[in-house]
Structure 1
Amino acid sequence: MEVLEELECWLKGKPQLREADLETNTLTPETTMLMLQYHACVVMAVRPPTLRALEQKLRISSEANSLRIDSLTQPISYAVGAACATVRTLRRHAAARGLAVYGFLDGEQAFSASQLLIMTNAAVPSLQISQSIITYSLNVLAHIAERGNDDTRQQMESLIRL
């Protein structure tokens, strides 16, 4: 996907983001926000084809459960990595400084990442997304919801039902 290639080129020009260490508390709010925005763009670029793959899978009968998504496997895998990085970044920032980094965006990015992980897990089980990262993403949403964000609480509840 051309968008993913352009995003990767953009990231290569940002050494402070490539070298950011999520295991330390040295992330500034600005660096965190740039990382989250980058990963959000990757997730948003791949969410439509992932949704189409899920819709196809739901239409296929149980006997012919062989969804052909070979051309999408690499971009979806890339987006899953971005969704996981979003969750880890938000979790790390919450531990170091607390959410929200920049207001409502935390909830939207956490929801978008969680949604992609759950949709991909349902549509493309061959990617074997760790159940622990899905649980982790829902825990990030719960943390945001606990701070009084009713929209995030509703989004989290809809994902749990999914």
Structure 2
Amino acid sequence: MNLAIPLLALLVVFSGYLFNESFAEISENQAFLLEGSGFAVTEEEIKFTEIDLGLSSEDKRGSSINFMIEDGFVTLDDEELTISELEGKFLREGRYIRINGNVESSGGIDTTISFFGRLVAESSDASVYGFTGRITTPDDTHKIIYTAKLSTLSKVDVEQTT
């Protein structure tokens, strides 16, 4: 009886890992589009923010895949922050995403971002992630809450008609 209770507790804890069906299909040398929106929160105000990034996966090391951010932007209300030095990783075969680096405002001010996303749900053509993190400007630090869609970009073959 003394052994049954710890074994039952252990079974309950690990059943969440065994029956979790959310696995994003991430592999090397793929192109992705990450697009979403949410809020940037400070003690004084809440701003609307959007994210739109073009990603390409690179090398796989263990259960993580590095990716390069090819193009995109992050908005903070009406201000568009362009990509300057961002890097990221798909962690645990795509269950998590980490994005860190610098973006630049239209006025040339360097801004640091740090986001962490968790896979929420997926379909056959895309996955949904919930992101939290920070956008740090010289004046303020905004806590970020995003819901974003990660979709695979595929090669489009164009047929020429004569």
Looking at secondary structure, tell me which structure has more helix per residue. Answer: 1
* Larger gyration radius, structure 1 or structure 2: 2
Which interval holds the TM-score relative to the shorter structure? under 0.3
**TM-score (norm: length of structure 1):** 0.21
Looking at secondary structure, tell me which structure has more strand per residue. Answer: 2
**TM-score (norm: length of structure 2):** 0.21
Greater relative contact order (Cα < 8 A, sep 6+): 1
